[in-house]
Amino acid sequence: MKKYPFKYIIKFFVIISWIYISIYSFLSCTTQRNTSIKASITINTDVEAKPYNPMIFGGFLEHFGKQIYGGVFDPGSPLSDDKGFRTDVIEALNELKVPIIRWPGGCFVDGYHWINGVGENRKPTDDVRWGVIEPNTFGTHEFIELCKLLDAEPYICHNGLAEVKEMIDWVKYSNSTEGKFAEMRKDNGYPNPLNVKIWSVGNERSGIEYINKVRDAGLGMKQMDSSLLVTCSGIHGNSSIDPYLFEAAGKYLDYISAHQYWIENWQEHSTPDYLSCMMLSEKPESYIRSVISQIKTAETKGQIDKGQIKIAFDEWNLRSWHHPGFQRFEKVDYDDPEIIKLIEARDISLKPSIYNLSDALFSASFLNSCLRNSEYVTMANIAPLVNQTGPLYVHPNGIVKRTHFHTIEMYVNELEEYIAHSEIKGSKLSDGKDSVSVIDAVATVDKKGEKWAISLVNRHPSEKVECKVTLGNIQLNGIYNGRILTGESTDSFNDINNPNRVTPKEVDLNFKNGIVTLPPHSLIIVHINSD
């Protein structure tokens, strides 16, 4: 047997190893290309596109934390006008074209009596829900003024624990042209009716007594003015709609109120990682369809007319508010160090670094869910609009537009007014326990069917997605203009020192044979002309 020098043996193994590594690398690259993340959205142009209600881009304000005082309303601030409204806040909210605002609560309303918030001689009262003193300097007329500044529809929520008469009196004060309450309004300096058309009977109430109150209040409001739109508590959290509601009060209702926050920070605050948040992004769709199913059951039973009752998703957000030690139902000792500590702890919700791409992309998915179910969902109100977990952070020296501010702004200003039928297919994104589609998308079109605006969300934290967009029989090839919202990482956020770290940017999207590459953790709205 021929013997080879040791150096040749080593050289042989080096060559073999190099060949092996080369083949492995090639196969790995090939495999990576073959298993790249892919998805598709097929837009059926043969199905008639349907209009959606822009009130799904609405907002909510409650007398909690710094939403009202130190938020939209800050008399004495150098940034406020002569009526006390923060001009920088008004300017920012006008970018969102806020179509409707729900006020004054929320849980706050359970202890609110409207009479304390009108007239010149207003006295502070105890806010027993949130353990603070309510100054009552922001009341009915200030709310209406805010709505005028924003060109927003006012939506007032009654005290659900008050007597029906108190509810009806508030409607009379706001809308009547004659009578005791009309004269009271005139004496307070407002000769013309306020014309508030949408009223809610209470907030997150339930039970037979409450439902009977909905019936009586609804009847009273409809008798006063049949054009008034009546809302009531329907479903919040893990609750369901009481069938007795439709039976007893269904004929007087125009909306069922739905509330949900998917990260519960009520008592213990947490900031889940991006992937965990994305696993929640399809929950709103399931929630909405559950509510629709319950409404359809009532329609089938003949308790309400088909299409009569719509969904007002009038409190929604990824993150719930933080109020450790509350709600309460009796006056607290305002000097109690423990109470002071608990109230100060609320401000953790103001911390800008909490709000990153999770909030932006979840908000896009929520709005997509509303658009896809627009036959029933005709109103939605992000809660809150300002401060706490809201899209706009207000501080004494200015504002910060959080990431989800830009999501709403893009949807309001970029989408067309009709929602088209589309189907999403593709890879799944998983955290090892749950999974969601790696992309979310909706397609909107103008009335003529010529101008399209397609929202494309890539939920993947780190990988690009090859997405094929099929628009009827149009083969998309070439460059199309759009806007993109993303960041250097999923944790990117805006704050006082870096208010523009995450902002929408113009982008040219290159389509080849209908396929476009979507960057990771991004929202894109692309515009296409089909004429």
- On whether both 144 and 283 belong to a single domain, the answer is yes
Q: CATH no. for residue 366?
A: 3.20.20.80
When pLDDT is averaged across residues 488-496 and rounded to a whole number, the result is 97
Least confident of 27-41, 118-132, 140-154, 195-209: 27-41
Instruction: Map residue 73 onto helix, strand or coil.
Output: strand
- Which is nearest to 259 in space by CA: 234, 293, 294? 234
C-alpha pair distances (Å), 437 with each of 192, 365, 429, 523: 52, 11, 6, 14
Phi, psi at 13, each rounded to 5° = -65, -35
Distance, in Å, from the CA atom of 185 to the CA atom of 121, rounded to the nearest integer, reads: 14
- The burial of 178, by beta-carbon neighbours within 10 Å (0-12 exposed, 13-18 middle, 19 or more buried), is given as exposed
Residue 238 is predicted with a pLDDT of 86
Distance, in Å, from the CA atom of 282 to the CA atom of 280, rounded to the nearest integer, reads: 6
Residue 326 is predicted with a pLDDT of 95
When pLDDT is averaged across residues 308-331 and rounded to a whole number, the result is 96
Percentage of the chain with pLDDT > 70? 93
Residue 24 is predicted with a pLDDT of 35
Sign of the CA dihedral running 389, 390, 392, 396 = negative
Torsion angle defined by CA atoms of residues 12, 15, 19 and 24, in that order, rounded to the nearest 10 degrees:
90
- The burial of 444, by beta-carbon neighbours within 10 Å (0-12 exposed, 13-18 middle, 19 or more buried), is given as buried
Phi, psi at 102, each rounded to 5° = -95, 140
Question: For residue 226, what are the contacts with CB-CB under 8 A and spacing of at least 6?
Answer: none
Residue 7 is predicted with a pLDDT of 45
Q: Please provide the DSSP assignment of 13-45 as one string.
A: HHHHHHHHHHHHHHHHHHHHHHT--EEEEEEET
- On whether both 305 and 244 belong to a single domain, the answer is yes
Instruction: Map residue 289 onto helix, strand or coil.
Output: helix
Q: Both ends of the chain: CA-CA distance in Å? A: 81
Is the separation of the CB atoms in 379 and 312 below 8 Å?
yes
- On whether both 60 and 110 belong to a single domain, the answer is yes
C-alpha pair distances (Å), 346 with each of 89, 131, 395, 420: 21, 12, 15, 42
**Number of H-type helices and E-type strands within the chain:** 12, 25
Mean pLDDT of the chain: 93
pLDDT in tens, 234-269: 999 888 999 999 999 999 999 999 999 999 999 999
Question: Can you read off the two tokens belonging to residue 320?
Answer: 């719930």
Is the separation of the CB atoms in 159 and 90 below 8 Å?
no
State CA 281 to chain mean position distance. 12
- On whether both 267 and 328 belong to a single domain, the answer is yes
- On whether both 70 and 20 belong to a single domain, the answer is no
Residue 456 is predicted with a pLDDT of 98
Q: Which helix (H) or strand (E) holds 276?
A: helix 274-278
Residue that finishes a domain, picked among 414, 431, 448: 414
- On whether both 455 and 325 belong to a single domain, the answer is no
Q: Which helix (H) or strand (E) holds 295?
A: helix 283-300
Radius of gyration of the chain (CA): 27
- Which is nearest to 357 in space by CA: 520, 212, 498, 472? 520
Q: How confident is the model at residue 374 (pLDDT cuts 50, 70, 90)?
A: very high
Torsion angle defined by CA atoms of residues 35, 39, 40 and 41, in that order, rounded to the nearest 10 degrees:
180
* Pairing of β 255-263 and β 229-236: parallel
Range of the domain at 13: 1-30
Residue with tokens 């992937």: 275
**What is the DSSP code (8-state) at residue 370?**
H
- On whether both 341 and 461 belong to a single domain, the answer is no
When pLDDT is averaged across residues 157-180 and rounded to a whole number, the result is 98
- On whether both 143 and 180 belong to a single domain, the answer is yes
- On whether both 398 and 481 belong to a single domain, the answer is no
Percentage of the chain with pLDDT > 90? 91
- Which is nearest to 258 in space by CA: 129, 370, 156? 370
Residue 2: pLDDT above 80?
Answer: no
Q: CATH no. for residue 460?
A: 2.60.40.1180
Instruction: Map residue 345 onto helix, strand or coil.
Output: helix
Looking at this protein, which amino acid is placed at residue 456? L
Which pairs count as long-range contacts for 163-166, CB under 8 Å and 24+ apart, including other chains?
A: 164/213, 164/216, 164/217, 164/220, 166/113, 166/114
Distance, in Å, from the CA atom of 275 to the CA atom of 166, rounded to the nearest integer, reads: 47
State CA 224 to chain mean position distance. 33
Distance, in Å, from the CA atom of 148 to the CA atom of 30, rounded to the nearest integer, reads: 60
- On whether both 423 and 367 belong to a single domain, the answer is no
Instruction: Note the residue count of the chain.
Output: 531
Residue 33 is predicted with a pLDDT of 37
- On whether both 59 and 182 belong to a single domain, the answer is yes
- On whether both 246 and 392 belong to a single domain, the answer is yes
What's the number of domains the chain is made of? 3
| 436 beta partners | 429
Residue that finishes a domain, picked among 396, 414, 432: 414
Question: Can you read off the two tokens belonging to residue 445?
Answer: 């079109």
